[in-house]
Structure formats: structure tokens, C-alpha cells
Amino acid sequence: MPRATRIPARRRRKNKILKRAKGFFSGRRKLYRTAKETVTRAMAFATRDRKKKKRAFRVLWTIRINAACRQNGISYSRFISGLKRAKIELNRKSLAELAARDGQAFQELVALAKKK
């Protein structure tokens, strides 16, 4: 009878899947075939949602900047184009932080944007 040489590799492969399935419900955690299907699906969702998270945060930052701009009497698009003309290269994340935390600094940026 020939020796089975691939057993350790198969066990490692299965254990890797079952380890990733920790916390799933019932057979999705314990049975290899269903665990494999669930883990594959979960990984696809995780990849998709990492991309979605980036989009969602950019939208949130834009909304916060827009709200702060409106309070200072300028539209979002005019503010962004004014900053570009003034050669101020701040990303939307830092602009949103300034708008939320430091209103005085944001007002100075609005004044610079209005000037240009």
C-alpha cells in the first residue's frame, strides 16, 4: 500500500479554513465544506467593504466640509476651487477635521478661498 504523503498539507489547509470560520454559527464553524463556502464568501465581502469604507468616509468628509462652508457663506465647490487656486493642498480628511474641531482655522481657509 502506497504512503499518503499529502496528509499534513491537507490538514494545515483545512485548519486554516476552520480557524477563519471561528465565531460562525453551528455547522458553518465545524463542518469543513460549509465553513469553506462561508469563509470564501466572507472574504469576498471583506474585500468589497474595504473599498466601500473609503468611499463612505470621503462622502462623510465632503458633507462636513460643505456644512462648515455654508455656515461661512460659501459653497463647497467654490471653496475647493478657491483652495486649489491659492495652492493650498489639504486633503478632505484634514479639512473635515479642521471644520469640526477648529472653526477659527477653517474660517481663515474660507477667507483665503474667497480671496482667490
Asked if 65 and 97 count as a contact pair (C-beta separation under 8 A), the reply is: no
For domain 7-115, give the fold.
c-terminal domain of poly(a) binding protein (1.10.1900)
* Domain ranges (residues) in the chain: 7-115
What is the pLDDT, as a whole number, of residue 116?
A: 82
**Cell numbers placing 26:** 453551528
Residue ranges of E strands in the chain: none
Asked if 116 and 82 count as a contact pair (C-beta separation under 8 A), the reply is: yes
What is the pLDDT, as a whole number, of residue 72?
A: 94
What is the pLDDT, as a whole number, of residue 4?
A: 76
d(CA 51, CA 8): 36
Average pLDDT over residues 92-103: 95
**Cell numbers placing 91:** 486633503
d(CA 24, CA 26): 7
Mean pLDDT over each residue of the chain, to the nearest integer = 94
Is residue 66 over pLDDT 80?
A: yes
Average pLDDT over residues 85-97: 95
What is the pLDDT, as a whole number, of residue 6?
A: 79
